[in-house]
Amino acid sequence: MRQVLRFACEGEVLLATLDGGEDGVGGDRRAGLLIVSGGNEIRCGAHRGMARLAGQVAGHGYPVFRYDRRGVGDSSGDNGGFLAGAADLAAAVAAFRSAQPHLTHVVGFGNCDGASTLALFGRSAGIDRLLLANPWVVATADDLPPAAAIRAHYADRLRDPAAWRRLLSGGIDLRKAIRGLGKVAAPAPRAALTTRILAAITDWGADARILLAQRDATAIAFRDAAPGMTATTIATASHSFAGEEDQAVLLEAVLATLEDRSPLGTPR
């Protein structure tokens, strides 16, 4: 059963979707999943990926709550970005627990800066465990990808004969390439935002699990910033795990976190 809910946050009205899970099979229904969308995506996610995931998880017996933060999608107010999302997250958790009063554990799942929101504010909001996909840990001052992603990109291109043919034929934007190489040659010191988010993830200890898309720029930047953190890697370039195989691994990771199974599975 899927229903739309409204709840208050600092004088604004936020919209949420609850997939009840009452008709699901298996699973510990005392746990529920709260999904935080990344960027300015509405609660259904990229290509309705979060809505699809919610339906799958609910089919296993777990209620799933998704919401639009202030100023995004159906919710009123001003969009302050993910760093201003603490009150929205706390209000969402409270609304979820009110709608499902039998819950004893709430698991938070987020992608990109949705993962960062959960890492930073999830504990104070009342969330018990986290699954963080491709956490956003960089502050960019331009329109270029993070330096680590640029390095990975050019390493692949240097091994690709087709890229050399494109370069010689004028098929590559040399101005953009030079800007990217300049960013790699003069990397900025670790930003305060990076330190803050990595410290927040570390503070969660074993209650936070990390899932990375192997060839995604955001995931590459995270791995570069936190090479020692344990993570499960999916062999994909899709930031939103859009492929059929990606979705199956993502679902298994979510269910493992809800069931508190460890590890999440064999990294690929």
Q: What CA–CA distances, in Å, run from 214 to 63, 122, 152, 233, 261?
A: 29, 25, 11, 6, 23
Interatomic CA distance for residues 114 and 211, integer angstroms? 13
- Rounded-to-integer distance, Cα 103 and Cα 129, Å: 13
Domain with CATH 3.40.50.1820 in the chain: 2-139+191-258
Cα Rg for the chain, rounded, in angstroms? 19
Confidence tier at 261 by pLDDT (50, 70, 90): confident
Cα separation values, 117 from 4, 99, 137, 213, 247, Å: 23, 22, 11, 19, 22
- Mean pLDDT value of segment 163-178: 57
- Domain 2-139+191-258 in CATH: superfamily? Alpha/Beta hydrolase fold, catalytic domain (3.40.50.1820)
Distance (Å, whole) CA 211 – CA 142: 26
pTM of the full structure: 0.81
CA distances from 41 to 37, 94, 164 (A): 6, 22, 36
What is the mean pLDDT of the segment spanning 78-90?
A: 97
pLDDT (tens digit per residue) in 107-156: 999 999 999 999 999 999 999 999 999 999 987 644 545 555 455 444 55
Q: What residues contact residue 144 under an 8 Å CB cut-off, 6+ apart?
A: 150, 179, 180, 183
- Give the start-end residues of each E strand in the chain: 2-9, 12-19, 31-36, 64-67, 105-111, 129-133, 208-213, 232-234
